[in-house]
Amino acid sequence: MSGTAQIGVTGLAVMGRNLARNFARNGFTVALHNRTASKTRALVDEFGGEGTFVAAESAEEFVAALERPRRLVIMVKAGDPTDAVIEEFAPLLEEGDVIIDGGNAHFADTRRREKELRERGIHFVGVGISGGEEGALHGPSIMPGGSTESYASLGPLLERIAGKAKDGAPCSTHIGPDGAGHFVKMVHNGIEYADMQLIAEAYHLLRSVAGYSPAKIAETFRTWNTGRLDSYLIEITAEVLAHTDEATGKPFVDVVVDQAEQKGTGRWTVQIALDLGVPVSGIAEAVFARSLSGHGALREASASLPGPTATPLPEADAARFADQVEQALYASKIVSYTQGFHQIQAGSEEYGWDIDLGSVAAIWRAGCIIRAAFLDRIREAYDARPDLPSLLSDKQFAEEIGAAQEDWRAVVASAVHQGVPTPGFAAALSYYDALRAERLPAALTQGQRDFFGAHTYRRTDREGSFHTLWGGDRSEVANG
């Protein structure tokens, strides 16, 4: 078998199959391999007319089908299965060949694999791919890490199959070395968790406080999607809320068990944020909200706890409240992205990746789950000021969130008064207020730490580290 394929895909479950078809539809000859050969044959039988495929039953045949430098995409389950596939194919490759991991790998695993394969002369590229099954087929947002040499070889192919923003730019760019791509994909998913939680809270408020039906809320979301909240998640929310269950005739949302599941990337985002010392409270609350929803026995045991029951507002007041919820949702969404980009910035500094935040915003404009109209403005903000310390430091975003804050506060207050949980809205507002506070109670926290553990503190009036001898005359001593 001669090396004629520009790219190869091994692992032909739904994502791998659709990615292979995307490459073929864009004019590339694609080598195919799967542990179960019948899946390879089935893909060719069903979709062979979409482009040129080279089916291979063995690892050796698969590698032989690839032109040099060989580009081999792994689309298998993250973790040990990925390591097993790497060990199967790496001995068959030569110096300069490229292994691409398109799964949802932890960036630390990607860093380890890149280092190990680099020592063997093989490039390893961890690629974050967002957009689900449809994105993989029609154009995802692609976040590749790895060496600049590997992107020179692989980048043109990825940019061809990626989603395209409204200005025609491909939603793929070289993120940075080793695990940078998978790190950015992880944070993307964290923002996605927060975004979904905020939308869910908006729905809950409109239903419980405004008294709207799911169909009316769907209309509200459709209206919001024509303005500054224009996004994929708002769009599909309207579709979900408008859907009627065929079996019961009830709104679809009323027949779904209210326990949200998760695959782990949101948890990773929060765990790594803790390691980096970056506050991502909105993402954390979204992760915890899903966790809490799944504790059915705990919720059942607590259902009789005292507290207010939401009372729907009169129609005129409900319409005004809906407008306030839109303001709160937009402001909280800005905070979620602010926290996510702060984490990417901190990760870039920690690992020496030199990530261009404007480019990250640019490749999220199409293909991915969190694609939204205001990503254009985020890109512009970081392009204008690459050293922007926070999205809230951008004049336009600061003005918008300032204009929204009165309604934002009113919504959170109404939620508290009515007993409707809004952890995302409240956490976002608390983060905003903490940033703008002249003094935080952390001074008292440091005093407590010094009292029980002699952890020392710094003073506002002079340099140095100090400790108070708590007891007796409580004299202060300089530390070191």
Residues labelled as active-site residues: 185, 192
Q: Is 240 annotated as a binding residue?
A: no
Q: Which residue, 421, 429, 432, 409, is CA-closest to 289? A: 421
Instruction: Please spell the DSSP secondary structure of 278-295, one letter per residue.
Output: ---HHHHHHHHHHHHHT-
Q: Is 12 annotated as a binding residue?
A: yes
Amino acid at 34: N
Q: Which residue, 241, 228, 407, is CA-closest to 333? A: 228
Where residue 146 falls (left for φ over 0; alpha for ψ -120 to 50; beta otherwise) is left
Q: Is 11 annotated as a binding residue?
A: yes
Q: Is 464 annotated as a binding residue?
A: no
How far, in Å, CA of 14 to CA of 22, rounded?
12
Give the three-state DSSP class for 394: coil
For the record, the structure tokens of 97 come out as: 């060949």
Q: What is the DSSP secondary structure assignment for residue 176, as one 8-state letter?
A: B
Q: Is 15 annotated as a binding residue?
A: yes
Q: Is 58 annotated as a binding residue?
A: no
How far, in Å, CA of 435 to CA of 46, rounded?
56
Residue 85 near residue 74, CB atoms below 8 Å = yes
Q: Is 104 annotated as a binding residue?
A: yes
Count CB atoms within 10 A of the CB of residue 45. Answer: 9
Q: Is 303 annotated as a binding residue?
A: no
Q: Is 36 annotated as a binding residue?
A: yes
Q: Is 8 annotated as a binding residue?
A: no
Q: Is 435 annotated as a binding residue?
A: no
Q: Is 455 annotated as a binding residue?
A: yes
Is the link from the previous residue into 69 a cis peptide, with omega within 30 of 0? yes
Q: Is 188 annotated as a binding residue?
A: yes
Q: Is 160 annotated as a binding residue?
A: no
For the record, the structure tokens of 207 come out as: 């239903």
Residue 228 phi, psi dihedral angles, 5° rounding: -70, -15
Q: Is 13 annotated as a binding residue?
A: yes
How far, in Å, CA of 14 to CA of 21, rounded?
11
Instruction: Please spell the DSSP secondary structure of 238-271, one letter per residue.
Output: HHHHH-B-TTT-SBHHHHS-S-----SHHHHHHH
Residue 25 near residue 50, CB atoms below 8 Å = yes
Is the link from the previous residue into 421 a cis peptide, with omega within 30 of 0? no
Q: What is the DSSP secondary structure assignment for residue 314, as one 8-state letter?
A: P
What is the side-by-side order of every strand in the sheet holding 457-458?
457-458, 465-468, 476-478
Strand pairing report for 98-101 and 7-10: unpaired
Ranges of beta strands (E only) in 132-175 are: 141-144
Contacting residues for 406 by C-beta, under 8 A, at least 6 apart:
none
Q: Is 68 annotated as a binding residue?
A: no
Q: Is 14 annotated as a binding residue?
A: yes
Q: Is 193 annotated as a binding residue?
A: yes
Residue 70 near residue 99, CB atoms below 8 Å = no
Residue 303 phi, psi dihedral angles, 5° rounding: -65, -25
Q: Is 436 annotated as a binding residue?
A: no
Known binding-site positions for substrate: 104, 130-132, 188-189, 193, 263, 290, 449, 455
As annotated, the binding site for NADP(+) includes 11-16, 34-36, 76-78, 104
| Positions at the binding site | 11-16, 34-36, 76-78, 104, 130-132, 188-189, 193, 263, 290, 449, 455
